[in-house]
Amino acid sequence: MTLRLNRRNFLGTAAASAAAASLPLRASAATPFTMQAAWINDAEFAGYFIGIDEGYYAEEGLDLTYLSGGPDVIPESTIIAGRADLALTTPDTTIKAIVDQGAPFKIIGAQYQKNPIGIVSLASNPILEPKDLIGKTLAVPPVNVISVNAMLALNGIDPADVNIVPYAYDPTPLIQGEIDASLDFTTNVPYTISQQGVEATSFLLYDFGFTIYNDTVVVTEETLASKRAELVSWLRASRKGWDENFKDPNLWPPKWADTWFAGTGRTIENEIFFNNAQQPLMESPAGYMAMTEEGIEANLRALSEVGIKGTRDMFDTTLLEEI
């Protein structure tokens, strides 16, 4: 099967993504198993780093290969190409691929219960809710424009009333006053801005109607059928890793300065901020990685607002029930 895919939207091909993926880091265990992350090594993936370093995957009988992500890595392409058994991505890209292209995907877990993507602005010129964007300039990565437009529409705002310009994941234009706000990870960018001596504020798209998960765990139907036991083991070890991480979000990032975080260009203080900020977005009464019926319904409802008509059977919660 050939699919048109793009990171957190679909642009490339499975073969192109396979060539772009980063080199793996391994943990020693019995059964080979590979996961594809959605982004570069940072606190977003702390639970998996702990699972590898502390032997949680090995205890489950998995020889885990961890593939880092990045701007040129298309997670779904990696599993289509057979380079990974599962990928972390977003439900909009996965469900769009299922609906539009018949992609054989299933979503089996969700890291972020609330998507950390949001509107970031300066405290000196605060954008605190969607209506504050009217007449303002908002920088948005091209792949996320559809999500922003949905959030605006959900709040009764005509997207034409907001000046949306391209954003390249650089807060400099915001700091310099060239734009009024940007769309980015609220768990990270406010800290980055604060390091320039400027205070930032933010709000989540999730809190204003665009209620989707993030870092959803996606597999092919073939992998679900042939490696179900391994997938359950991966989910169990991952939950254990996240449980351990959030016992003290300040503890683990300094340990990885010369390993997982080496060469990223980010400070350990930044990663500590990130790790603390993401905890409330990941917590669920059902445990880390959970998908509740209410959460799935909220995802489907939000995606329908952008014309992505998913169905309940695209989510498989039965593996989580086996943890």
Q: Where are the domains of the chain?
A: 14-114+212-322, 117-208
- Cα distance between residue 134 and residue 123, in whole Å: 17
Q: Give the position of tokens 């320039």.
A: 196
pLDDT class of 237 with cuts at 50, 70, 90: very high
Quote the pLDDT of residue 15: 36
Distance of CA 292 to the CA centre of its chain: 18
Residue 24 has pLDDT above 50, yes or no: no
pLDDT class of 203 with cuts at 50, 70, 90: very high
Task: Tell me which H or E stretch contains 303.
Answer: helix 293-304
Quote the pLDDT of residue 129: 98
pLDDT class of 19 with cuts at 50, 70, 90: very low
First to last CA, the chain: 32
Residue 7 has pLDDT above 80, yes or no: no
Structure tokens at 160: 């034409």
Quick: pLDDT tens for 131-153.
999 999 999 988 788 889 989 99
CATH top-level class of 117-208: alpha beta
Residue 8 Rama label (left phi>0; alpha psi -120 to 50; beta): left
CATH of domain 14-114+212-322: 3.40.190.10
Same fold flag, 14-114+212-322 and 117-208: yes
Quote the pLDDT of residue 249: 98
Q: Is 219 helix (H, G, I), strand (E, B) or coil?
A: strand
Q: Is 181 helix (H, G, I), strand (E, B) or coil?
A: strand
Quick: pLDDT tens for 35-70.
999 999 999 999 999 999 999 999 999 999 999 998
